[in-house]
Structure 1
Amino acid sequence: MSNRPVSVIGFDADDTLWQNEQYYKLTEGHFRSLLADYAEGEHVSERLLEAEKRNLAHYGFGIKGFTLSMIETALEITEGRAPSSVISEILAIGRDLLSHPVECLPHARDALEALAGKYFLVLITKGDLFDQERKLAQSGLGDYFDAVEIVSDKTATTYRRIFGKHGEGPERAMMIGNSLKSDVVPAIATGAWGVFVPHELTWVLEHVEKPEEAPRFREIPDLGHVPELVANLGS
């Protein structure tokens, strides 16, 4: 067994390794314009967020659930009178999201390259299986990871299972991501390190308070600081 404090490092994908939320925001803007004759844009966004909250338990995270929530919202706002052209356009912009090129965030490749081979790296991401596999393949980052876990949600139970499966348990693991709710807080709850890398467009449903009193909480401005952070844990 190594004397290093960490042997397994988990990375979130969307808005940690590559851009994601900005494309949802652009799609939402298009959706608001489609319903401009029926409601104010802010009202459309509010109703869409309500639909997303309701539907998470049914559709999970990802583009397909988002598209279904847009359709549901359009039908609600128009009281069932949304023209077929609007529904067709919603389906089209959903398909566009599913084929959008992947744009890696700054320092993502350099950080993974610096850690690969020294630590067991596992990608831990939630969302649609096909879409997440597509983005990982297009990112060109797949070869840096020793394992990939695409999960329906990220909870303390999820992290206990993954860090037990791929390592020596949460106490010698670290999770890195842009979501306090999904990546940091539940990982810390298991005894792992939780590293917060803020992204300016993190989805509102992923917002919670920073666990600043937690001894294993860390915050860094970007992924370029990861290798130094990991190296200095034991010092």
Structure 2
Amino acid sequence: MADYMNQSVFQPSIPKHLINAEDRRIIEAFSITFESDGEDKFYLYAEEWCCNGYLDPEEPGGEEIELSEDDLFSRFQEIIRRSNGELPWISKESAYTCSRMRPDGFGGGAVFITADDIQYSFTGQWLEQRISETETGDIGPRTEDPPPSKPIVGFVLEGGLVQSIVSNAPEQLPEMDVIILDYDVEGFEEECLLNVPQSSGEIARAVGHIEKITESGINLGMVLNQMKVRGW
């Protein structure tokens, strides 16, 4: 007789102050272990993962409450939302193993949870897609399209000042704010200065502004090739 096992780990460790009593009650209903990670975080794992959890009745004589995996993931989303950006995501990675070398006894999966989305990926599903593509010759849409070019980012300066930040493919880059700092503060009023903590623990003063990455009006690829040829 074969024994099938399913173990799961959750990342990253969750700050303790983000987990309230009801969170812990629901999470532990799935036999998930809370292990302290330092003084202020919990590392979560399940040595025997089950996709259903059970809550004890709140009142004597009441019925046990059955929870689904969706209830657990929704609870994680609530924790993420309450964190106000401190905890932007939680992942669950699972390994499926067997005490005997059964062909159906091994695999893995992952779940990626954010405040407004839950994504799933499983090794079995991935293999089925690859097998189907190989056997049918249909490797999916857009496979004949050339791969997108690697994004190039350029900082355009004039007179020592950053005028713009441009890219040949800004749509391939994550949306971001780029901070420009200048430690030459001579001539600037006090209200224009920023405090910039240093790795040494000291506070430096600087002026700065925020730039967005925009579509390039220059051929960055040609510029990059010239620099590579010259060994720059």
TM over 0.5: no
Pick 1 or 2: higher relative contact order, CA cutoff 8 A, min separation 6.
1
Q: Which has the higher strand share?
A: 2
Structure whose alpha-carbon radius of gyration is higher: 2
TM normalised by structure 1 equals 0.23
